């Protein structure tokens, strides 16, 4: 999660917070915008970017899109082997 957050524009300095707070992928998807702003003490701008990425990940999951190492999306119906 920390490396994912680090890759978001303007959020690099907040990556350590996610590591310190032991926020894994499951916990990341459970965060609310209020959690990010109030509990993690992240300013509104970066918090909105982080929360938007959470919403996008949830939406991708609902549509059956998988992310392999958070790089490029792979369709759930894609039968090609994933590169590691």
Please report the pLDDT score of residue 72 as a whole number: 42
pLDDT digits (tens, 9 = 90+) for 23-80: 999 999 999 999 999 999 999 999 999 999 999 999 988 888 776 554 444 434 444 4
Please report the pLDDT score of residue 67 as a whole number: 63
Q: Which domains does the chain have, with CATH numbers?
A: 2-75 (1.10.150.50)
**Phi/psi class of residue 17: alpha, beta or left (left: φ > 0; alpha: ψ in -120 to 50)?**
alpha
Please report the pLDDT score of residue 65 as a whole number: 76
Is residue 22 predicted with pLDDT exceeding 70? yes
| pTM: predicted TM-score of the whole model, two decimal places | 0.74
Please report the pLDDT score of residue 53 as a whole number: 97
DSSP label of 46: H
H helix intervals, the chain: 2-6, 15-20, 25-30, 33-34, 44-62
């Amino acid at each position: 999660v920390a490396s994912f957050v680090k890759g978001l524009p303007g959020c690099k300095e907040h990556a350590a917070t996610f590591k310190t707070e032991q926020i894994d992928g499951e916990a990341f998807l459970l965060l609310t915008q209020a959690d990010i702003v109030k509990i993690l003490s992240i300013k509104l701008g970066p918090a909105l970017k982080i929360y938007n990425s959470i919403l996008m990940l949830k939406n991708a999951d609902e549509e059956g899109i998988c992310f392999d190492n958070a790089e490029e999306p792979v369709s759930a119906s894609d039968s090609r082997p994933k590169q590691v």
